[in-house]
Amino acid sequence: MIISIETSTSDLSFTLLNKNCILDHLSIPFKNELSEIIVPTIKKFLNDNLISLDDISFLAVGCGPGSFTGIRAIISTALGITASKSHIKSIGINSLAGLAMSALQEAKTLKVKYVISSIDSKNDDLFLQLFKINYTKNILLPIVAVSNIDTIKIKKLHSYFVINNLILTEVLFVGHNSNIAKNIIKNLNVSTNSTQHPDSLGVGKLASCIISNKISINKITYAFNKFKPIYARSAQINLK
């Protein structure tokens, strides 16, 4: 059984999965009290599903980029959980990849080739990353990162398309400032998902795919076998 957790933006979310089946999902907003509520909320989430950490085999965590506070709090908590429960295996997920995963079905319906994920950097610009969708059945990973994480101003989105040789009709944009992106680039495919920020659903689905298909973590650029923060800039917070 897998529990995935995401706190890279303004929500704390949990998803419980078993063999690619979503058993439960919870998302709650938080302000400055994250470090106080995260452990009790995990315990309540598990209790509500009549299980405990002893029933969990994998803990998947969205490692950013995003909120320094959220990333630091969840990774510290996750490290504590895996230290106290040695049977639980770790899997860290790039939150931009989790966001792309949340828009995968929509992208396939539109028959686009790429998803651009966007997360607010809190510095008047965006974290962006480009992912290619796998339509080939014998390729196990649903998405592949085809660029590193970039930080750009939303008004320079045109340049991002040019640099990456992207054709407008082949791209779905999901995440922060989607509406502004659509105003900047006319006819841009923008996700209609109600959630335009990283969520544990996408993180959990990616982790479940990797685990169920026994894919080596070493072959994936957006997943890790340990929890490490992705700040995408020089870290302003040192995680001990």
- In the chain, which segments carry CATH 3.30.420.40? 2-94+198-224
Q: What is the chain's pLDDT, residue by residue, as a tens digit (240 residues)?
A: 999 999 988 789 999 999 879 999 999 988 778 888 999 999 999 999 999 999 999 999 999 999 888 899 999 999 999 999 999 999 999 999 999 999 999 999 999 999 999 999 888 889 999 999 999 876 689 999 999 999 999 999 999 999 999 999 999 999 999 999 999 999 999 999 877 899 999 999 999 999 999 999 988 999 999 999 998 764 443 443
- Do 31 and 70 touch, CB atoms closer than 8 A? no
In terms of CATH, what superfamily is 2-94+198-224?
ATPase, nucleotide binding domain (3.30.420.40)
Query: Which pLDDT belongs to residue 233?
Result: 63
What's the rounded Cα separation, in Å, for the pair 22 and 17?
Answer: 5
Counting beta carbons within 10 angstroms of the beta carbon of residue 40, is it exposed (0 to 12), middle (13 to 18) or buried (19 or more)? Answer: exposed
What's the rounded Cα separation, in Å, for the pair 148 and 22?
Answer: 30
- Do 191 and 103 touch, CB atoms closer than 8 A? yes
Q: Which CATH architecture has domain 96-190?
A: 2-Layer Sandwich (3.30)
